Amino acid sequence: MLWGKGRRSENIEDRRGIRMPGGIAGGGVGVVVIALIAMFFGVDPRVILQEFGQEQTPTGQEQAVPVDPAQDKLKDFVSVVLADTEDTWGELFQKGGAQYERPRLVLFTGAVRSACGLAQAAVGPFYCPGDHKVYIDLDFFTTLEQRFGAPGEFAKAYVVAHEIGHHVQNLLGTSGKVRGEMERSNQERANQLSVRQELQADCYAGIWANHANRSRHILEAGDVEAGMKAAAAIGDDRLQMQTQGHVAPESFTHGSSAQRVQWFRRGLESGELSACDTFKS
């Protein structure tokens, strides 16, 4: 990616120098489950913790810790990607006669407090609709590369753009409608709605890539392939096969690898919000 000369966002909130308590009180099995769910993007930690009976209660005091200087370049990269999403969605909202509210992106280490509760890094990057913030532990990108086989800067940019996609859903009212319908649905239907919401965020990530490249020419050879690889790496079918040895489509919450690649590609090729209506497809 050609990002070095890009604008840096002013909406980065760096909490990496603050380490939260080492654990969350509750049953040990819940920690294992949360670790598995770490493989997914866009998960509300409050939902995960409540689902498995985990109390969101810190077991100690916050501590000041040194920040790894090796991550400075990665922080800079995330700041540029965030700024680029701000420019892209700002333009698109303006064309639609609305104003885009820029979210803040919180960098943290280990665990973090949000309006959605206390979350550990194991839940992966997430967006909290309660405070309009994206939360990322930069160590996740190492996991993305080493465990999921999705290296490269554009794979990392895809992660950020996907979470910003959830913010866009929140601003457009999609998230609230989905939550309301999920509360009235059985588990299978709720899972289907979750899949559609996640696939739409993938499509929105593709929209960002389309506009960013057309306006600012940020993509290099191989970048699109890296994004596709990242999308495929975190498909429900692939993750279930890795963790439980079989695939259970009825329990999907984010979509299969093929679906995630399909919807990311659709946003990338069209650049249009109208192409991302996963709820009617």
Domain residue extents for the chain:
12-276
pLDDT digits (tens, 9 = 90+) for 207-221: 999 999 898 888 888
Per-residue confidence (pLDDT) for residue 219, from 0 to 100:
84
Structure tokens at 17: 């120098």
Q: Residue 160: is its pLDDT beyond 90?
A: yes
Q: Residue 88: is its pLDDT beyond 90?
A: yes
Q: Which residue has the higher pLDDT, 141 or 229?
A: 141
Q: Which residue has the higher pLDDT, 94 or 152?
A: 94
CB-based contact 236:254 (threshold 8 Å): yes
The helix (run of H) or strand (run of E) holding residue 142 is helix 140-146
Residues 208-217 as b or e (16 or more Cβ within 10 Å = b) = bbbbbbeebe
What's the predicted TM-score (pTM) here? Answer: 0.80
Sheet (strand 104-109) strand order: 63-64, 12-19, 104-109, 133-136, 126-128
Per-residue confidence (pLDDT) for residue 253, from 0 to 100:
58
